[in-house]
Structure 1
Amino acid sequence: MNIKRNVVLFIASSLDGYIAAKDESLEWLYNVEGEGDNGFSEFYETVDTVLLGRRTYDWVMNQEMEEFPYKNKQCYVFTRASNKDIEDVKFVNGSVTKFIERLKSQDGKNIWIVGGGELLHSFIQEKLVDELIITVAPTILGKGIPLFREGDYQLDLSLKGMRNFNQFVELYYEVKN
């Protein structure tokens, strides 16, 4: 039984489209009153593979955590450097398109693009994103790390659902082919 695996962006953004402040801080996000884990646990059960860019991976590793946050998932970090794989992470520096095609041809759950902006930009340009779940915080940052970078691309989307978690609004889109 081969179930189609989707590549899904699941991320929080400020109302003006930033995923982090200029200094990579997410403090603004924690200042918003949510509800429970704002749908994270429910989403997390739908994926078995996580994808991160190198800068996002480094940011995650610099946080004070008891253990690697994606320990029970296949975790791939896209990087331009050559790195040896470690216990919880495999490093990828080849063709993004070929890698995703190979992942999608395997049985499994959905594939989560954790971030960041540079990795997402390359996935959008290569038309590799199937769904976007964006949780919008009622905050305007004015500047920071943008969710979507300027580029020569267009994605047409279909709204599949929306819900709120107290002050957050989750928008669920499917990419039209």
Structure 2
Amino acid sequence: MSQRKLVLYIASSLDGYIATDEHNLDWLFAVEGEGDNGYSRFYESVDTILIGRITYDWIIEHEKGAFPYKGKECYVFTRTKKDDNEYVNFICEDVVQFSKDLKNKNGKNIWLVGGGNLLNTFIEENLVDEIIITIAPVLLGKGIPLFRDNSFQTSLSLKSINRFNQFVELHYEVVR
């Protein structure tokens, strides 16, 4: 049995921001894409979703309570324990051990949705296996960075490049 892969799948501005300081994504939806920009193909490759608490709260607010990942096993990492609901389990335990245990279970790949704090922890702890970044032709100038300043290096190997009209998708594998 091969181990499941933990994949960071995310969109970014050309200058490396995943949202404005106010967590606004209007700039992303203003870009002309093609179809669903490869989302459906990726979504079918995963059965488990990992989300940070701030990102989860943003999703719930902006989706007007309609949870977009129904039918997938969803975990929300939080520092304050919350009761699980019909769609997600809230996780307060160690990110590293939890993720390693999850990767060793049978299943499809695992999607690391974000946000910035969580993905930084996953990369720093060497838990991410692949990174798929869809670049939007927008310069935000400031906002929530895709990658924060860190004291580590991660080498990547380019697997593929896809173009979806104005978007470019870069698919990397983490070199171990």
TM-score bucket (shorter structure): over 0.9
- Give me the identity figure in percent: 60
Shift of 1:64: 3.5
Question: Partner letter of residue 157 of structure 1?
Answer: L
Aligned residue in 2 for 1:152: 151
| 8 A contact 2:50–2:114 mirrored in 1 | yes
Shift of 1:10: 0.4
**How many residue pairs align between the two structures?**
176
Structure 1 runs not aligned, ≥5 long: none
Alignment pair present for 1:134 and 2:148: no
- Tell me the C-alpha RMSD between the 2 structures: 0.9
Structure-2-length-normalised TM-score: 0.98
Shift of 1:4: 2.2
Aligned residue in 1 for 2:88: 89
SS, match of residue 123 in structure 1: helix
Structure 2 runs not aligned, ≥5 long: none
Alignment pair present for 1:174 and 2:170: no
The correspondence of residues 1-177 of structure 1 with structure 2, limited to 5 A, is 2-65=1-64, 67-177=66-176
SS, match of residue 62 in structure 1: helix
Shift of 1:22: 1.2
> For 1:136-176, what per-residue CA distance to the aligned partner results, in whole angstroms no more than 9, with x for missing partners?
00000000000001111111000000010000000000000
| 8 A contact 2:60–2:66 mirrored in 1 | no
| 8 A contact 1:3–1:108 mirrored in 2 | no
> For 1:107-127, what per-residue CA distance to the aligned partner results, in whole angstroms no more than 9, with x for missing partners?
000000001000001001100
